[in-house]
Amino acid sequence: MTETADHKDSYSPSAEFAAAANAGAELYEQASADRDAFWAEQASRLHWHQPWGQVLDWSDAPVAKWFADGKLNVAYNCVDRHVLDGHGDQVAIHWEGEPGDSRAVTYRELLAEVSRAANYFTELGLEAGDRVAIYMPMVPEAIVAMLACARLGLTHSVVFAGFSPTALRQRVDDASARLIITTDGQWRRGKAAPLKEAVDEALFANGDVPHSVEHVLVVRRTEIEVPWTEGRDLWWHETVTQASPEHEAQPFDAEHPLFILYTSGTTGKPKGILHTSGGYLTQVSYTHHNVFDHKAGQDVYWCTADIGWVTGHSYIVYGPLSNRATQVVYEGTPNFPDEHRHWQIVEKYGVSIYYTAPTLVRTFMKWGREIPAAHDLSSLRLLGSVGEPINPEAWRWYRDVIGAGTAPVVDTWWQTETGAIMISPLPGVTATKPGAAMAPLPGISALVVDEEGKPVQRGETEANGYLVLDQPWPSMLRGIWGDMERYRATYWERYAAQGWYFAGDGAKLDADGDLWVLGRVDDVMNVSGHRISTAEVESALVGHSGVAEAAVVGASDETTGQGIVAFVILTAEAKDTGAALVDELKAEVSREISPIARPREIHVVPELPKTRSGKIMRRLLRDVAEGRELGDTSTLVDPNVFEAIRATKA
C-alpha cells in the first residue's frame, strides 16, 4: 500500500502506470474548460458517415439530442473499421464455453457473421426501427445478433436468459418485438437447461392473446430437444449461416434508437430504458478507453457480466468492440467445474483487465485466497468493480490477492439509465480509497444534495445525501419505451425546480470531498448487483392464492449485498399449510420473475406494520429483517404488531 500524504488509506497509481496511462489529469481541465468541445473530441474517436451540426441540444429537456444531424453506423464502428484498418486477424472474442469448448473469433470473422445475420434479418423483412428480442446465454451469436440489429437500425431488447417466460412475454409485448432470437438450451453447471421451450411457453401464455412475434430464430447450443412450430421457428444454422457474408452498413442518425433494456423500477412494471446511437457509443467508448486504460492490440480484457444487463451491453459489446479490444467471453458460472475456473481463464488467455461485481469478489473471499494463489495472475494490471457499493474489506482483498497489491481498482458507478460509467477513478490519476467511487469523470457532473437540493457538506457523517446529475451526458437514456410521462416522473420530478436527474442512490462526500455511493434510497433492492423491485416480488407473492398481503424489503447480506426478505399474511384457507407453503412461495417467485428474485426468507406474519394512511412501513420491516432495534414507531396504527412479527422470526 502506498500511503499518500493527504490520506492514510488511499492508493496512488505507480509512476510507471501513470506515465503509460491513456488518461491524464489534463482531461479534467479540458472538460471543465469547454464541455461541448470535450465531448466533440471524444465523439471524433468514432467513424461518422456524416458530421454532426450541434454537440448538445437540450432545448427539449429532459430529452437530449447529442450530435444531432450526425450520421453513423454503430456496428461499422465496432467491427468494419477495424478490419479496414488492417486488424482483421486480431481476435475480437476468446469465447470459453462452460463445458470447456472454446472458440476464437477474429474481427474479420465477426464482420462476416454480423453481415450474414444482417442479410438474413433483411430477408425476413425487418426494417430499421423494428424491435428484436434477444433471449440468449453467453454465446458468440448473442453478440453477433446485437451487432446485426445495430447494423440495420433495428432496436434490440435483450432479455436475461435467467428470466422466466412470464417476464420474457411482458417485455416482448411491451416492445412489440417482431423477432425473438434464442438458443435451444443453455449450459448450467454441466446440465443443458431448456431455453427455446421457455420462449414457447412465453408465446403461448395468456391463452390465445395475439402478439407481435412473427419468427423465433434458434441457435443450436446444447442439442437438446426443442418444441417446434413450422413456419414460425427457424434454425440459425440453416438460415443466417447460409446467408452472404457481404453487407454494406448504412448510416443512421445519431439519435436513432439502438436498444431498449428493461430494468426494475419502484412499481411492478419494468421500465424499458431507451438508448440511442451516437452519444451512447461516444461515452461507452470514451469510458472504456480511459477508465480501463485499454490498449488495443495489447490488452486482454474480461468483463464477467451477462449481456442481459447493461454492463454486458456497454462493456462487453459496444465499448470494448468500438475500441478494438481482444476480450474473453465466458459462458458459465465461476464455480464450474470448480472454484478455479476464473483464474484458469485469466491464466489461459493472459487477461490483463478484469471487471466484475463486488458480490463475486466477496464470494471469492469466502472460497479462500489459496484458490487464486494457485494460479499465475501476473498478467492482471487493472481491476474494475460495478453494480453495488464495494465494501472496503472486499476492495482491499481484490487489490491485494487478485491484483498482487499493485493493480489499480476502479470502482465504477453508473446505471442502466446512464448507459455508461459516470463516477469512477481514472486509474493513472486518482489516489483511490477502498469503497469510494471518488469523483465524476471528466465531462460528467454530479452533486450530492439534501432533500431540498442544497449541497451536503463534506465530511458529514449522517448519510442524508442524494446523488443527482446536474448536466446532461451523451449516453443518458432518452426515455422509457412507450411511457414518457413515467420517464419525467421517475427521474426529473424530484428536483424539477433545478432540472436535475435524480439517480435514486444515496451518497456522501468525505472530508476530502470524495464521493461515496451508499446504495438505493427507493424501493429497489440490489441483490448480487441485480436490480429487483420490492413491488415486483410482492406482486408475484400475492399472485399466489394462499397469500393475502405481502411486504418485501432488502436486508443486508454478507455475500449478495442485499437479500430479499418477505413478510406475508396468509389467507384463511392457507393458514395451516406451514413450511411447505413457504417453499412453494419461494418457487413461485423464481418462476414468475427469475431465480435471482427468490426470497432469502419468507416470514408468515399475522399483521403488517402500517401507517394510519395505510402505507406499509418498510423501514421498520428492514429493521426487523436486519435484527436492529426498531426506529420510530409512533406513526404506526398498532405498535404491537412487531411483537407478533418478531415472534415469527425467532
Residues interacting with ligand WTA, by CB under 6 A?
A: 263, 309-311, 386-389, 411-416, 437, 503-505, 517, 519-520, 526, 531
Q: Is the Cβ–Cβ distance between 537 and 552 less than 8 Å?
A: yes
In the DSSP assignment, the letter for residue 14 is P
Instruction: Kindly state the smallest distance separating residue 382's Cβ from ligand WTA, in Å.
Output: 15
Q: Is the Cβ–Cβ distance between 327 and 298 less than 8 Å?
A: no
Cα–Cα distance between 250 and 74 in angstroms, integer? 10
Grid cell of 115 as nine digits: 453481415
Q: Which of 157/263 has CB closer to ligand WTA? A: 263
Q: Which of 120/466 has CB closer to ligand WTA? A: 466
Cα–Cα distance between 109 and 638 in angstroms, integer? 67
Instruction: Kindly state the smallest distance separating residue 255's Cβ from ligand WTA, in Å.
Output: 22
Instruction: Kindly state the smallest distance separating residue 129's Cβ from ligand WTA, in Å.
Output: 25
Q: Which of 153/529 has CB closer to ligand WTA? A: 529
Instruction: Kindly state the smallest distance separating residue 433's Cβ from ligand WTA, in Å.
Output: 13
221 to 6, 16, 136, 305: CA distances (angstroms): 54, 44, 10, 20
Cα–Cα distance between 52 and 69 in angstroms, integer? 5
Residue closest to ligand WTA, measured at CB: 416
Q: Is the Cβ–Cβ distance between 109 and 140 less than 8 Å?
A: no
Q: Which of 266/635 has CB closer to ligand WTA? A: 266
Q: Is the Cβ–Cβ distance between 264 and 527 less than 8 Å?
A: no
Q: Which of 332/506 has CB closer to ligand WTA? A: 506
Q: Which of 236/280 has CB closer to ligand WTA? A: 280
State the number of CA atoms in the 13 A half-sphere of 261 facing the CB. 24
Amino acid letter, 264: S
Instruction: Kindly state the smallest distance separating residue 460's Cβ from ligand WTA, in Å.
Output: 18
Of 186, 272, 218, 52, whose CA–CA distance to 595 is shortest? 186
**Matching residue, cell 472538460:** 31
3-class SS shares of the chain: helix, strand, coil, % to 5: 30, 25, 45
Q: Which of 527/552 has CB closer to ligand WTA? A: 527
Instruction: Kindly state the smallest distance separating residue 517's Cβ from ligand WTA, in Å.
Output: 4
Instruction: Kindly state the smallest distance separating residue 62's Cβ from ligand WTA, in Å.
Output: 18
Of 594, 602, 615, 613, whose CA–CA distance to 645 is shortest? 602
- Classify 384 as helix, strand or coil: strand
Instruction: Kindly state the smallest distance separating residue 319's Cβ from ligand WTA, in Å.
Output: 12
Cα–Cα distance between 517 and 509 in angstroms, integer? 9
Q: Which of 97/425 has CB closer to ligand WTA? A: 425
317 to 186, 276, 491, 550: CA distances (angstroms): 20, 15, 27, 39
In the DSSP assignment, the letter for residue 208 is T
Of 206, 7, 234, whose CA–CA distance to 125 is shortest? 234
Q: Which of 244/556 has CB closer to ligand WTA? A: 556
Instruction: Kindly state the smallest distance separating residue 422's Cβ from ligand WTA, in Å.
Output: 9
Instruction: Kindly state the smallest distance separating residue 385's Cβ from ligand WTA, in Å.
Output: 6
Of 418, 426, 578, whose CA–CA distance to 501 is shortest? 418
Q: Which of 282/359 has CB closer to ligand WTA? A: 359
Instruction: Kindly state the smallest distance separating residue 326's Cβ from ligand WTA, in Å.
Output: 23
Q: Which of 282/287 has CB closer to ligand WTA? A: 287
What are φ and ψ of residue 303, in 5° steps? -110, 125
Q: Which of 130/411 has CB closer to ligand WTA? A: 411
Instruction: Kindly state the smallest distance separating residue 608's Cβ from ligand WTA, in Å.
Output: 26
Q: Which of 116/289 has CB closer to ligand WTA? A: 289
Grid cell of 1 as nine digits: 500500500
Q: Which of 330/355 has CB closer to ligand WTA? A: 355
Q: Is the Cβ–Cβ distance between 322 and 284 less than 8 Å?
A: yes
Rounded to 10 degrees, what is the CA torsion of 449, 455, 460, 464?
Answer: -20
Instruction: Kindly state the smallest distance separating residue 332's Cβ from ligand WTA, in Å.
Output: 21
Q: What is the DSSP pairing of strand 257-263 with strand 326-330? A: unpaired
Instruction: Kindly state the smallest distance separating residue 561's Cβ from ligand WTA, in Å.
Output: 9
Cα–Cα distance between 66 and 57 in angstroms, integer? 6
Grid cell of 198 as nine digits: 421457455
Amino acid letter, 607: E
Q: Is the Cβ–Cβ distance between 417 and 442 less than 8 Å?
A: no
Grid cell of 525 as nine digits: 433492492
